[in-house]
């Protein structure tokens, strides 16, 4: 995960660059689900993602600053412990039409939307001789919807191996300024119902509205199992 984030309207924008190991250290829970359906030449693609992380820091002494809900300005020289809980929900819904289908190649054109909801809660404990020991919590959340257009390509390589890629782009200033995603994978079919996939996925969003900034790129390897029914 890399990019720039301002989780609170009156907060600063901070740069983020977290490798996979650091994301896993902060992870409380993550869930992912992909659904693909087809009837004749009509197709549907659905993707859900939920991620819950906690990041804690202890700092001090710091210069004077204020957070909403604390009641007083935290004076210079205070020792501060901060814990940030972040929850992200994303749902992508696409429908479309199979415009090309041969034994060696299929092409689906897609259109739809991506829904985002980001929630952040911060708990700060500060100690100083002028204020004693104080703890306060504050939270904000924001949501938006991005229109999308996309395509999906499927290529059989052998009787058991295949390649597929799905890409979309959207936002166009209606929600985010820009969002796009790409997933490419090699698949192996074990039975008519079960297959396994190994690939790579990247998901970009550039959102900046009313003081909230969420300009990030999520990328990394993907593995999965598909059940067809």
Rounded to the nearest integer, the mean pLDDT of the chain is 89
Strand order in the sheet with 132-156: 14-17, 2-6, 212-227, 194-209, 178-189, 161-171, 132-156, 105-128, 78-102, 42-62, 27-39
How sure is the predictor about 7, in pLDDT bands with cuts at 50, 70 and 90? Answer: confident
**What's the pLDDT tens digit per position in 87-104?**
999 999 999 999 999 999
Provide the token pair at 212: 């909230």
pLDDT score at 159: 92
Half-sphere exposure of residue 11: CA atoms within 13 angstroms, side-chain side: 20
* Cβ proximity of 85 and 95 under 8 Å: no
pLDDT score at 178: 97
d(CA 36, CA 118): 25
pLDDT score at 97: 98
Flag the least confident range among 43-47, 118-122, 128-132, 167-171.
128-132
How sure is the predictor about 114, in pLDDT bands with cuts at 50, 70 and 90? Answer: very high
d(CA 39, CA 52): 35
pLDDT score at 70: 64
How sure is the predictor about 8, in pLDDT bands with cuts at 50, 70 and 90? Answer: confident
The helix/strand/coil state of 13 is coil
**What's the pLDDT tens digit per position in 37-69?**
999 999 999 999 998 998 876 665 555 556 666
pLDDT score at 126: 81
d(CA 93, CA 115): 8
For 38-57, b/e burial (b = at least 16 CB within 10 A) is eeeeebbbebebebbbeeee
Give the predicted TM-score (pTM) of the model: 0.83
pLDDT score at 68: 62
pLDDT score at 157: 96
Report in angstroms the alpha-carbon separations of 156 from 29, 53, 109, 224: 35, 38, 18, 18
**What's the pLDDT tens digit per position in 148-197?**
999 999 999 999 999 999 999 999 999 999 999 999 999 999 999 999 99
Half-sphere exposure of residue 99: CA atoms within 13 angstroms, side-chain side: 10
What is the sign, positive or negative, of the torsion defined by CA atoms of 104, 109, 115, 116? positive
Percent of the chain scoring above 70 in pLDDT:
93
Residue 85 or 186, more confident = 186
Flag the least confident range among 33-47, 66-80, 107-121.
66-80
Percent of the chain scoring above 90 in pLDDT:
58
pLDDT score at 57: 66
Q: Quickly count: other Cβ atoms within 10 Å of residue 90's Cβ.
A: 21
């Amino acid at each position: 995960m890399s990019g720039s984030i301002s989780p609170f309207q009156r907060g600063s924008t901070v740069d983020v660059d977290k490798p996979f190991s650091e994301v896993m250290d902060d992870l409380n829970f993550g869930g992912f689900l992909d659904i693909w359906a087809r009837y004749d030449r009509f197709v549907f693609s659905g993707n859900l993602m939920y991620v819950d992380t906690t990041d804690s820091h202890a700092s001090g002494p710091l210069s004077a600053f204020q957070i909403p809900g604390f009641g007083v300005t935290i004076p210079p020289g205070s020792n501060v412990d901060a814990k940030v809980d972040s929850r992200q929900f994303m749902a992508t819904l696409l429908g479309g039409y199979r415009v090309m289908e041969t034994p060696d190649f299929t092409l689906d054109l897609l259109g739809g939307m991506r829904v985002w909801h980001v929630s952040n809660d911060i708990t700060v404990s500060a100690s100083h001789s002028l204020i004693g020991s104080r703890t306060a919590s504050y939270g904000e959340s924001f949501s938006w919807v991005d229109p999308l257009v996309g395509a999906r390509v499927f290529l059989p390589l052998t009787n058991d191996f295949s390649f597929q890629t799905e890409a979309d782009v959207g936002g166009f200033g209606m929600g985010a300024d820009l969002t796009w995603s790409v997933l490419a994978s090699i698949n192996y079919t074990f039975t008519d119902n079960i297959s396994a996939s190994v690939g790579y996925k990247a998901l970009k969003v550039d959102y900046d509205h009313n003081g909230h900034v969420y300009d990030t790129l999520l990328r990394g390897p993907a593995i999965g199992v598909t059940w067809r029914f």
